[in-house]
Amino acid sequence: MIEKSVKTDEPTKDISYEEAIELVHTKVDHTLTKAPIIIRKYTNHLVSSKSKFIRAKSLIICAEDKQGNIHPNAITLAAALEILHLATLVHDDVIDNADLRRGSITLQKKYGKKTAVICGDYLLCASLKMAASISNKEDYLSINFPDYMSKVCIGELTQHINNGNLDISMYQYFKIISGKTAALFDAAFYAGAYFSGSNEKELIQYKKLGYILGIIFQLTDDCLDFETTETVAMKSVQSDYEQGVITLPLIHALHEIAGFKDKAIRSELSRSEINDAVSRSGGLFFTRRMVQSYYSKALHLISYLDITENKKEKLISVLNQVARLSLTNF
């Protein structure tokens, strides 16, 4: 049974989904706009480049009980997760030397890499501090945020080690994205389900569902780098290979086109050569087909969860939001 007593500065009763989402946004905004004066100028800049709150939204949906209520501690953890995700984006932009994020100039581009790295570190600390502030912490020890964060870091490092590795296998690639992208989705779904009072078997199902959505998210992003413009994506595109990142559409092309890998080893490939190879090999179709397969698995898992129809609809809505680009182009 989950204890319901909470700190006096938090809501003292379970609340609705709509109220919970609004409170998550408020908490995140407060962290960014009320940071210590010395760093506030930089965190204020990040308000305009926040993500779509998919991970936070997922946690809140999973935390909803059969009466449609959400425990206040879930709100705090959802906000902490979103700030943690924002920290990883700030660091990613430094690594990728990115100019744009969500249509706004990146922190590293405007204020420099050193400032951006320190701000990313600050956000990481703010996230962990917020997660540790929940009441009855001893009841939630299995929600191990630091462990999930280490999975993200290991995934990112493994990707970096494999930068420019034209021999990377699909197994290695999925190992990378299981950490750098899927881990935080896994965390969101598991934590939310835990707050809803789910049993051990159900928790495993939620974790699988979160992992699958994370994989779908990354594969869709892989397609985005080839299929859309910077204006539509609101971030840098046509740049993964230039950063040394070998994604699934290109991995497929390297395996399918005779001599293409040898040519890539001998000389630097132009963007037009990469796009042509991915197109001729069906790399995008192959990647979207993988998304379709994972999408079907996600629907299957959702259908077997013992939850209300309203909650199922919300979960499917998030699934559709994550997979939309790949499925509409399939």
pLDDT tens digits, residue range 40-85?
999 999 987 767 899 999 999 999 998 899 999 999 999 999 999 9
Tell me the domain boundaries of the chain. 1-141, 144-330
At 19, which amino acid appears? E
Whether 173 has a pLDDT exceeding 80, the answer reads: yes
Kindly provide the residue ranges of all beta strands, DSSP E only, lying in the chain, ordered along the sequence. Answer: 100-101, 104-105
- How many whole angstroms separate alpha carbon 189 and alpha carbon 147? 15
Q: Which of 187-201, 260-274, 309-323 bottoms out in mean pLDDT, i.e. has the lowest?
A: 260-274
- How many whole angstroms separate alpha carbon 80 and alpha carbon 28? 8
Q: What is the CATH number of domain 1-141?
A: 1.10.600.10
Tokens of 22: 């609004």
Tokens of 42: 């930089």
- Terminal-to-terminal C-alpha distance of the chain: 44
The predicted structure's pLDDT at residue 234: 56
Which candidate, 243, 236, 239, 182, places its Cα nearest to that of 213? 182
The predicted structure's pLDDT at residue 227: 80
- How many whole angstroms separate alpha carbon 12 and alpha carbon 114? 41
Share of the chain above pLDDT 70, in %: 89
Average pLDDT over residues 180-197: 93
- How many whole angstroms separate alpha carbon 104 and alpha carbon 82? 18
Q: What is the CATH number of domain 144-330?
A: 1.10.600.10
Q: Are 282 and 200 in contact (CB under 8 A)?
A: no
Element (H, E) at 212: helix 200-227
Which candidate, 157, 165, 192, places its Cα nearest to that of 58? 192
Tokens of 37: 């004066």
Choose between 241 and 223: higher pLDDT. 223
pTM score above 0.85:
yes
The predicted structure's pLDDT at residue 239: 74
pLDDT tens digits, residue range 96-142?
888 888 778 999 999 999 999 999 999 999 999 999 888 776 666 67
Fold: same for 1-141 and 144-330: yes
